[in-house]
Amino acid sequence: MTLEATNRYDASDILFFSHLRWDFVLQRPQHIATRWAAHQQVSFWEEPIHDATSPRLEIREAGPVTVLVPHLRPDDREPDHALRLMLDGWVRHAGIHRPVGYYWTPMMRSFSDHLPYSAVVWDCMDELSAFAFAPPELWRLEREMLNTADVVFTGGHEIYNAKKHRHANIHPMPSSVDTRHFGRARRNPAEPDDQARIPGPRIGWFGVIDERTDLALLDAIAAARPDWHLVMIGPVVKISQEVLPRRANIHWLGLKGYAELPAYIAHWDVAMLPFALNEATRFISPTKTPEYLAAGKPVVSTPIADVIRPYGEKDIVWIAEGPAAFEAAIAAALEEEPTDRLERADALLATMSWDSTVARMQQLVREATGTRPYLAVLS
């Protein structure tokens, strides 16, 4: 038996490795994987759940995407061994040959780096090492990922500027938008019952509520303007429910499905991005910015770099730091006739659909494939 290096390439399969679960808030991973599945067989590998008496792989179909959830024993001391066996079993079962390995987290390379990839992609959508409870080894694994990946995408321009000198084939792919979906809000859909009881004016948010959310800012705005009502939609993660400000005019409505969001935002007066200014938000590129705009709403944001550029610089989004300035910006947004601002927003949104973003990604991945030697086993 001999080994021969070839450049044979089969791009029919792609393995996504995600730290975010498929059934969590619908965001970048789901948008990208679903569109990729229109052309290729797509497997979406999630982080393990430690709840099994013996290792097993949960397999389910989510539309065109196959979602894979490994279940491990709570006391498993060598999870990579079990994960590798499960992954290899899935690759054989699905008939996967020379897949593209597409990573949102470098943490999963340890059990999957042996596969004969046609290309390795790292989609650095966030600076994960700056998030709460980030594993201490993440910095080292990110360095290794940069050395391993054939192409690197970033979730925004700020994080691209921080990493562009560290890889020869790195490209900014900032948050995009499904304008058709969120444009439904402009057609005045029926209002959900749990929001209909809330008086106006309403200033709303949807998204994950965590250490990146400026809870003190929300509390200050609600205290200063008891006539305004803050509508907060989304799951609370990594922080305790006890730290959430509780006032009569702050309404915590919990997680809603992606399909429901246009009906909620349609009945807001202003949409907001109340991000704290900390290490966890330094490089974020909030997907909800273009989603709010596609819904036709005025938007007020704290000074997040990827919101300032381009939305603030193009006078599409109000940028305000601190409670007094944020309150003043909301007041201005409530009073303004939005026609000119919406026209500028729509012109920008026309250039940033998820369809076009994923098409650019696919072209760059195609160009990167075939550069890796393929060890074909010859008998």
CATH number of 2-176+354-378: 3.40.50.2000
Mean pLDDT by 10-residue block, N- to C-terminus, for the chain (379 residues)? 33 87 92 93 96 95 97 90 96 93 93 94 78 65 90 94 93 94 97 97 97 97 98 95 97 97 98 94 92 98 96 97 98 92 96 95 90 44
Q: Is it true that 2-176+354-378 and 179-349 share their CATH fold? A: yes
pLDDT value, residue 137: 72
Q: What is the pLDDT of residue 77?
A: 79
Q: Domain locations in the chain? A: 2-176+354-378, 179-349
CATH no. of 179-349: 3.40.50.2000
Q: Which of 102, 107, 101, 165 is nearest to 141 (CA)?
A: 107
Residue among 328, 323, 289, 321 nearest 307 (CA): 289
- What's the pLDDT at 370? 66
This model's pTM is above 0.75 = yes
- Computed on alpha carbons and rounded to an integer, the radius of gyration of the chain in Å comes to 22
Q: How far apart are CA 63 and CA 361, in angstroms?
A: 21
Distance CA(305)–CA(159), nearest Å, equals 10
The amino acid that residue 322 corresponds to is: G
Per the DSSP assignment, residues forming a β-bridge with 151 are 121
pLDDT value of residue 184: 98
Q: What is the pLDDT of residue 5?
A: 34
Listing DSSP states for 184-226 in one string gives: GGGG-PPPPHHHHTS-SSEEEEES-BSTTB-HHHHHHHHHH-T
